């Protein structure tokens, strides 16, 4: 873990997603599964479904596989290879950006050997955070500076909320930020989700090294947005006064 990282990052899932101009064939999806079956032995397939209704009869038909999810035995590291692209995910405990990036880059490189060069049309990073607060009666804005605002005539004590926005950051880069209450995980704690997805569809370099530098830049933008969305009281929960995730 880098020295400027939070000691207890609130990340429940970290994702690097790469989408391609051309669809990946079913045969190539299966080759990826074969390539990674030793390190990712748990496999699940996702099939296209078509639902039709004729009077009172509902018919569901399964078509060919359009995605394969590969997981480690402990389900902490996940590859999702689908017709449009490739996703690498790390679930908690998060082990730092360097480890996630290295693993994702290795997977991308091996996949490229299988299906050859494919122009990239979209890259993105997504981090889902669960902020556990040691109290039930909380004011959202004491912890997250992005949420809901209620009139004075409505009680600020509520059990559920959800809010979201997608904003244009310029030069083809966008951020989708969502926050809301989460199911209770710890006794006597309230939990808030903060989900930040930063992605771009423009200016993606054709060279791999430059494309991955672009992914690094999206992660830096995500870090900036995360810091803008939380308070010092929230930072204290993570042990350090501001850092990279």
Does residue 186 contact residue 217 with C-beta atoms inside 8 Å? no
Q: Omega of the bond prior to 93 within 30 degrees of 0, cis? A: yes
Does residue 233 contact residue 143 with C-beta atoms inside 8 Å? yes
Residues 40, 77, 146: CA angle, nearest 5 degrees:
155
Please give the pLDDT value at position 242.
47
Q: Which residue has the tokens 């360097």?
A: 98
Q: What is the pLDDT of residues 113-138, one digit of tens each?
A: 999 999 999 999 999 999 998 876 67
Q: What is the pLDDT of residues 184-237, one digit of tens each?
A: 777 778 889 999 999 999 999 999 999 999 999 999 999 999 999 999 999 999
Averaged pLDDT score across all residues of the chain: 88
Q: Where are the domains of the chain?
A: 1-21+123-245
Residue 162 has pLDDT above 80, yes or no: yes
The b/e string for 42-51 (b: 16+ C-beta within 10 A; e otherwise) is: eeeeeeeeee
| Cα separation values, 180 from 109, 128, 145, 171, Å | 36, 11, 12, 29
Please give the pLDDT value at position 160.
77
Q: What is the pLDDT of residues 43-63, one digit of tens each?
A: 999 887 666 666 666 665 656
Please give the pLDDT value at position 41.
96
Quick one: how many helices (H) and strands (E) in the chain? 4, 9
| Cα separation values, 215 from 131, 133, 223, Å | 25, 31, 13
Q: Which residue has the tokens 């391609």?
A: 20
Provide the whole-model pTM: 0.87
Please give the pLDDT value at position 61.
62
- Please state, for a pLDDT cut of 70, what percent of the chain lies above it: 84
Stretch 127-153: mean pLDDT, rounded? 81
Higher pLDDT, 63 or 157: 63
């Amino acid at each position: 873990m880098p020295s400027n990282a939070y000691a207890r990052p609130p990340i429940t899932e970290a994702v690097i997603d790469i989408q391609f101009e051309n669809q990946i064939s079913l045969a190539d999806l299966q080759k990826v599964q074969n390539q990674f079956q030793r390190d990712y032995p748990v496999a699940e397939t996702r099939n296209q479904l078509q639902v039709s209704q004729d009077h009172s009869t509902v018919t569901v038909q399964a078509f060919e596989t359009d995605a394969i999810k590969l997981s480690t035995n402990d389900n902490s590291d996940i590859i999702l290879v689908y017709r449009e692209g490739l996703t690498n995910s790390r679930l908690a405990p998060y082990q730092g950006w360097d480890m996630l990036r290295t693993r994702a880059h290795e997977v991308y490189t091996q996949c490229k050997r299988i299906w050859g060069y494919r122009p990239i049309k979209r890259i993105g990073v997504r981090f889902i955070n669960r902020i556990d607060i040691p109290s039930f009666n909380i004011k959202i804005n004491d912890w997250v500076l992005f949420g809901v605002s209620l009139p004075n005539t409505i009680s600020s004590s509520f059990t559920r909320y959800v809010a979201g926005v997608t904003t244009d950051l310029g030069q083809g880069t966008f951020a989708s930020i969502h926050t809301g209450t989460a199911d209770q995980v710890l006794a006597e704690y309230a939990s808030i989700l903060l989900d930040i997805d930063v992605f771009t569809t423009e200016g993606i370099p054709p060279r791999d090294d430059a494309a991955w530098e672009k992914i690094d830049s999206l992660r830096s933008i995500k870090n900036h947005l995360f810091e803008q969305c939380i308070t010092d009281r929230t930072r204290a929960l993570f042990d350090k006064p501001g850092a990279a995730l």
